[in-house]
Structure 1
Amino acid sequence: MLKRYILSEAHSSTYSIRLGSMKMFNDLKKMYWWSGMKHEISEFVTKCLIKAEHQVLSRLLQPATIPKWKWE
């Protein structure tokens, strides 16, 4: 119960940017440790339905302009 609370706070906090399980593990191991911690964090992040909010939405690709001269 306490581990689940720690994981959800670390993952859903306003200071968190949801970079993935390794980032979350490296952040949490500074203050907490328990047996199987890395595996539990990996499972928790995998099951998360909320994806990174900082990602830019993809757009259609635009063709690059081809210069007429070598150094243009």
Structure 2
Amino acid sequence: QVEFRLDDDNVLWQDTRLVVPNDATLREALLTEAHISPFSVHPGSTKMYHDLKQYFWWSGMKGDVAAFVARCLICQQVKIEHQRASGLLQQLDIPV
């Protein structure tokens, strides 16, 4: 059970986290800022969710974060499975 409270300014909180209204534009802006700001540098969905959930709450946030990261073209291009495999290791000659 999730408990909510209204503060004196009629702002809705879930414990210490600000409740984000069901507004797709606002949520997309939050996700974008958390993902592509110079300070975050394209975190994966787990890190991004962990960072966001410290300050914000909305129903289905974890799924929204995962879907957002999955749509990021830069993240898809640099994922380890999309990188070309390196060649075999070569033994170095040890000077005697």
Query: Which structure carries more strand by proportion?
Result: 2
Does the Cα contact within 8 Å between 2:49 and 2:65 map onto a contact in 1? Answer: yes
* Equivalence for 1:12: 36
1:64 aligns with 2:91: yes
Identify which of structures 1 and 2 has the higher relative contact order when contacts are C-alpha pairs closer than 8 Å and 6+ apart: 1
User: What is the CA–CA distance in structure 2 between the aligned matches of 1:4 and 1:40, rounded to whole Å?
Assistant: 9
* Equivalence for 1:70: none
- TM-score (normalised: structure 1): 0.73
Greater than 4 Å deviation, 4+ residue runs: none
Size of the aligned set, in residue pairs, is 65
List gaps (5 residues or longer) in structure 2: 1-24
Match of 2:71 among 47, 51, 71: 47
User: What is the CA–CA distance in structure 2 between the aligned matches of 1:60 and 1:18, rounded to whole Å?
Assistant: 28
Q: What's the CA shift string for 1:12-71, capped at 9, x where partnerless? A: 100012231000000000110100000000000000011287x9x87544313487xxxx
- TM-score (normalised: structure 2): 0.56
List gaps (5 residues or longer) in structure 1: 68-72
